[in-house]
Copies of this chain bind each other. A is one copy, B any other.
Amino acid sequence: MKLSLIAKAIGISFTGEDVEIEGIHTLDDASSSQMSFLDNEKYINSLENTRAKAVLCNAAAAHKVPEGCIALVDEEPYLKLALASKLFAPAVIELEGAEPLIGEGSFVSDKAFISKGAIIGKNVKILPGAFVGCLSSIGDNTVIHANVTVYRDCEIGKDCIIHGGTVIGSDGFGFAHTKIGEHVKIYQNGNVVIEDDVEIGANCAIDRAVFGTTRIRRGCKIDNLVQFGHNVDIGEYSILVAQCGIAGSTILGRNVVMGGQSATAGHLTIAPFAQFAARSGVTNDVKDGSKTYGGFPLMEQRSWLKLQAKLARLLKPKIPHVK
């Protein structure tokens, strides 16, 4: 899409040479055919080094836009990003396109629905009520249980099991906010990739990335009712117990264990092999993966146990000291 058209659509004046923009990404990850945005001064270094062809930013940051990159200046660049994201959103469902390909030995229930352009591997089983969106793919030997929903553009690997009711590829939770408190959707134009040998329990929710990919790596095992925000990256062989939640953009190293009802904040990095007891609440990066953590705020699990024991003693009646 021509930048001039984007600028017009989102209400920013733009003069100069027009260019073709193929999508939107972060300052760090945008290619030279994409546009980007600066919504937080702490990313100013990323702005100075971006390869993006154009950037939404405010006037104060405009002079940091690198040569060859076009500044689209506005006092609310994040709001303009939201408006621009809609221009790149693919259709919810494609009615035209290639018939889906179904691999040899696969069973697809006639009460499931496989969308245009989807590719189903060999020996796959897709049960009644399952939905596979446009251009999504399912690897060999994978089982998609009844009433699973896989949105468009997602990839599920080989030898996976996806249990009933789980939703893969729903929109991430991202909005810009107007001055009067309304919320403007940032279209989530990324996808979800589930690697090989992953099992996902019933009624989980795995959001697609805003840009790029939400990724669940090889060999992860996920229990029921688990929440994944957009752009999370779950390391190989991690174990996530029921009702836990991983907020957006958090990265788990390999073999992390998240206990039941535990949760992380967003934008964190968790060291490989770290273990989190049930109900842990992780709000900072975890750099030491050799330990078991617990509590909220988070501490080592043995410290949390000790602290709780101390607190419980506050309830004991005071026994007067007798000399």
Contacts and interface: CB of A to CB of B under 8 A. Distances in A.
A207 B224 contact: yes
Contacts of A319: none
Given A111-B113, A165-B203, A221-B175, A261 B245 contact: yes
Of A127, A227, A278, A303, chain B has the most CB atoms within 10 Å of the CB of: A227
A153 interface: no
Interface stretch (A1-9, A73-81, A180-188): A180-188
A279 B281 contact: yes
A163 interface: yes
Nearest to A159: B185
A171 interface: yes
A66 interface: no
Contacts of A225: 203, 205, 225, 227, 245
Contacts of A202: 149, 167, 170, 205, 207
A164 B181 CA distance: 27
Interface in A261-296: 261, 263, 265, 278-279, 281, 296
A306 interface: yes
Given A149-B129, A205-B242, A182 B306 contact: no
Given A171-B199, A279-B296, 7 more contacts: A161-B171, A163-B167, A173-B242, A175-B221, A243-B263, A303-B315, A310-B314
20 contacts: A93-B127, A113-B128, A129-B147, A146-B149, A147-B165, A171-B199, A171-B201, A173-B221, A175-B221, A182-B237, A183-B239, A202-B205, A203-B205, A203-B225, A227-B243, A227-B260, A229-B242, A297-B312, A303-B315, A306-B315
